[in-house]
């Protein structure tokens, strides 16, 4: 068993138990009939939660530390491990506070930005395709606003102060 076991899932098709070891960055596979460790599979940082798909006979591992998903396929006793291309959305807004414009630097191309006031009213909606868009604040009064940034199928909310 690894360090800091934190989650278990049982596969009723092959009678295996999968144990996420958060501090070892691995998953221990246990034979459900004998309670013996079969193997240990290295995954990404801090595996934390499982989901088992009985139709596809796959075990999904949410890796908290790396913001990724690992998928363990288990077909007739053969285990295969891979990490799908999961990109977390990160963004930076500058300058903040802003006067006449602000720039969003994003890890993914930004598709749309919605600007809301603190009461939740939509003030402005802008659509484009760029990973570093520059947005004019013309017509927007001084105050605190919330930006909903949409990129691919991900969303991120950020606070913006307009002087």
18 shares a domain with 52: yes
Whether 83 shows a pLDDT value over 60: the answer reads no
Q: What is the CATH number of the domain that holds 12?
A: 2.40.10.480
**Residue 151 near residue 106, CB atoms below 8 Å:** yes
pLDDT tens string 15-65: 999 999 988 889 999 999 999 999 888 888 888 888 888 888 888 888 888
In a domain, 86, yes or no: no
Range of the structural domain that residue 102 is part of: 91-162
102 shares a domain with 71: no
**Residue 30 near residue 39, CB atoms below 8 Å:** no
Q: Which two tokens stand for residue 60?
A: 């999904």
In a domain, 106, yes or no: yes
- Dist. CA 71–CA 92, nearest whole Å: 30
For residue 149, which of 117, 105, 118 has the smallest C-alpha distance? 105
Whether 77 shows a pLDDT value over 70: the answer reads no
> What pTM, to 2 d.p., does this model score?
0.48
C-alpha 150 chain-centroid distance: 14
């Amino acid at each position: 068993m690894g360090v800091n076991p934190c989650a278990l899932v049982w596969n009723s098709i092959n009678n295996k138990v999968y144990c996420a070891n958060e501090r070892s960055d691995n998953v221990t596979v246990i034979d459900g009939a004998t309670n013996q460790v079969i193997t240990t599979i290295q995954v990404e940082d801090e595996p934390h939660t499982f989901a088992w798909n009985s139709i596809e006979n796959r075990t999904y591992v949410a890796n908290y530390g790396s913001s990724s998903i690992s998928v363990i396929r288990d077909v007739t006793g053969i285990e295969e491990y891979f990490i799908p291309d999961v990109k977390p959305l990160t963004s930076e807004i500058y300058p903040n506070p802003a006067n006449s414009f602000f720039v969003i630097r994003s890890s993914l191309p930004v598709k749309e930005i919605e600007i809301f006031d603190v009461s939740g009213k939509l003030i402005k909606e802008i659509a484009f395709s760029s990973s570093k868009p520059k947005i004019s604040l013309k017509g927007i009064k001084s105050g605190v606003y919330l930006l909903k940034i949409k990129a691919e199928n991900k969303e991120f909310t950020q606070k913006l102060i307009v002087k």
